[in-house]
Structure 1
């Protein structure tokens, strides 16, 4: 399947936005990070805006995106609803920050965490379909959440260091988040490695009496070891390791100004690379029924 960079960037930056928003809300629950609440919120909004702009480039006519909103069960409609709800919560969060000198009520912080998680789940669930085995996996959903766990806490830890706020909690979140990101990335890579076998099990030749052994397609093209997929897999895993190493060094050295940014960038690269592999393995079982569109 052709790599869809606008959609890759949309999912990656939505995950970064959700992770940042949820991380600052966790600090708010502990009555920490008052000085970074507004900068973190602005950063989260910026990530969401970048993702929103990126997805428009998926369409030849950006305004055609509204054509997909007529069906409430469609993935694009559900993503829009989740984004609008998140935006509303962000506005409420902003108002509370301004009224309470960087502090927010517990219920607002909890709502921010929940809605951030919902956005990740909705963005990932939009791609889960039985017709594409590599996508129809709960581990695919967890990999998006894992991306949030890497990027968000790392961004918040860097902001804490830059603003002179206590960074212990944010640093711990970044370290744990980087570990979660690595585990979810590796788990999804292992899951994707089984796709070729599942397609072989269904059969790979047309039932055509004049040419009974003609292949529908080569399963080698949807193997994780294929030249189109393996580089992306390697980059995703290596970048996840770099993010974890960066978080460890940030925790040991206390220099989150540098290592927080390193971990966040590595997390973004890992998330994008994993989605490149995701598209590279996006063979559809509709080929087995002679349906290609």
Structure 2
């Protein structure tokens, strides 16, 4: 009876977890001091992908996804648009962090200058 809601629950839970964790890391920047700064964006993109798979499961057939995305006024398409946009941002951050070197240092220094908010220790 409630099984048709479980894929949307998976999307909301996993995508919300990924977005919240990435936002907290963007504000606090604690993951930039790690030896492997590419690991956190990778960990964030996995639950986001699981959540988007939950959206596909909710529609029943994956081919309905394209039909659902054609209606930008529907809630499921808006959630999917924002999740895909967040996924693109996380993947770009993953590539920059994975490459390391000067690019990652410039991105980290820009982020540090932009937001100077105190974080909980």
Per the normalisation by structure 2, the TM-score is: 0.72
With over 3 angstroms needed to count, the CA separation of the structure-2 counterparts of 1:66 and 1:109, relative to structure 1, is: farther
Q: State the Cα deviation string for residues 34-56 of structure 1 (Å, max 9, x = none).
A: 33531111110101111111222
Q: How does 1:1-293 map to 2 (within 5 A)?
A: 2=2, 4-28=5-29, 32-97=32-97, 98-100=99-101, 103=105, 104-105=107-108, 106-107=110-111, 172=120
**Higher RCO (CA < 8 A, seq sep 6+):** 2
With over 3 angstroms needed to count, the CA separation of the structure-2 counterparts of 1:8 and 1:64, relative to structure 1, is: same
CA contact (8 A) 1:72 1:78 kept: yes
With over 3 angstroms needed to count, the CA separation of the structure-2 counterparts of 1:90 and 1:18, relative to structure 1, is: same
Q: Give aligned pairs, total.
A: 112
Unmatched 5+ stretches in structure 1: 111-168, 174-293
1:15 aligns to what SS in structure 2?
Answer: helix
User: Greater Rg, structure 1 or structure 2?
Assistant: 1
RMSD across aligned positions (CA):
3.0
**More helix per residue: 1 or 2?**
2
CA contact (8 A) 2:22 2:44 kept: yes
Per the normalisation by structure 1, the TM-score is: 0.33
Measure the CA separation in 2 of the matches of 1:31 and 1:59: 36
